[in-house]
Amino acid sequence: MSHRIVPVHVGRSSNVHREHIQTNRTLQIEAVLRQDTGGNPRLLGAARASVFTAREVVREEPAGRLSFGGRQSYERAFTDSPSALYERVLAANPAPYAAHLNLGRAEHLVIVSPELFVRSRGRRIESAPIAGTAARGANAIEDFQILRDLLLSDKADSELVMCTDVDRNDKSLVCEPGSVQVIAHRDVETTPRLMHTVEHITGTLRDGYSALDAFISHMWAVTVTGAPKIGAMQFIEATETSARGWYAGAFGAFLCNGDMDFGITIRAVHLVDGMARVRAGNSLLARSVTAYEEAECALKAAALLDAIDQHPGGPDLEVPPDPPTPQGLRVLIVDHEDSFVHTLADYFRRAGCDTTTIRSDRGTGIAEAFLDQASPDLIVLSPGPGSPGEFGTGRVLAYATSRRIPVFGVCLGMQAIGEYLGAELKPLPAPAHGVRSAVSRIDASESNRLAADGPRGLDAAS
């Protein structure tokens, strides 16, 4: 039987508040244990005993804060080359601490760890606890939204602050008084699949202490044990039903000049006896949502499991399709000295259009000979500074009208179309670039199909 440690975090609070937290955590813990044990009465009883023992430890803990590192274990049959696996994992998930360790007797470790354990350069030591993990989005906009949610997460912030407090304590054992500093709070680091919030903590070794002392004072990292650290490790030792082995240790080097650099052994694949084993963990606090924590474990293991599965005889990772090739629709983009015209052209190319960009001269516009040579199916008038008349847009619009070529205008280009059709342009009392405003539909008649089929209103940024 294998079950996770379900961490408990209780801050100093009133008895009523503490009892409310414990009641909610009891319900969460029970659900997790039933899932882990398959509802087997004997296994469930043993698991309950372990977790509720942890709750009693929390209740009596004078420091008022206790957290244990949970974990999940995944296994796959593996017959591929360990070095090939390392190359696949590193290509898919580059990491600052990566290694393929041949341990002898057909045992290997493949590690791509994002987390620094402890490093020393001369008398300066540094560590970087990670707490707070989220999946990357499909693009920069999604990344921003996910990162915003991560930075606003009280749970992630509380977890990282706890880890920082313990790490500062580890350094204070061997560092000069007053030298331990948090130099970056909730810094953001990314990999191709994940983003993390990270703390960077430094200190200066006292006279008589070496890099080895710094290493020992940090054993083992709070991010994979808990706090208070000794109690957390004792509970893990007494409760977890399988040894962690290499997982959550450290790998790196002590250098001849007295420096050292070690990463934490997470995001690791243990290869032995024809099996590939991956462990992933997280920390649960009182405010944790069990389903989210389970998903976070799976997320951390996903890149490794994908690389394990991607070998001869196993399923291949899905390869994204090639971008579309031009389908024959010719688009001419008229550039009005704008800084975003090439991004605009890229949108049309991604839609499969054969796109050409021509710069419009101020005052004269574009000669008909150039327009004839381009022979466009669509003309796009780009944004730009100033007013449409400065770029001779009327000349291009007259050309398009006479040949019945559709025109699409963006910003200044849209102003040009309005002005060509008789509209009067007036400057706003204040610049409104990038300001969100409401767009309302004023003509929904059958004669205006664009308005009739579109939304009644929307928000847009000018």
Pick 77 or 1 by higher pLDDT.
77
DSSP 73: E
* Alpha-carbon gap, residue 168 to 201, rounded angstroms: 7
Cβ count within 10 A of residue 22: 16
**48 burial class (0-12, 13-18, 19+ CB within 10 angstroms)?**
middle
Longest Cα pair distance anywhere in the chain, in angstroms? 88
Q: Is the pLDDT of residue 254 over 60?
A: yes
Question: Mean pLDDT for the chain?
Answer: 77
pLDDT of residue 65: 35
* Alpha-carbon gap, residue 456 to 458, rounded angstroms: 7
- Give the pLDDT band (50/70/90) at residue 93: confident
375-397 residue pLDDT tens: 999 999 998 888 888 898 988 99
DSSP 222: G
3-class secondary structure, 439: strand
- Give the pLDDT band (50/70/90) at residue 99: very high
pLDDT of residue 441: 67
154-191 residue pLDDT tens: 878 888 888 888 888 889 889 998 899 999 888 888 88
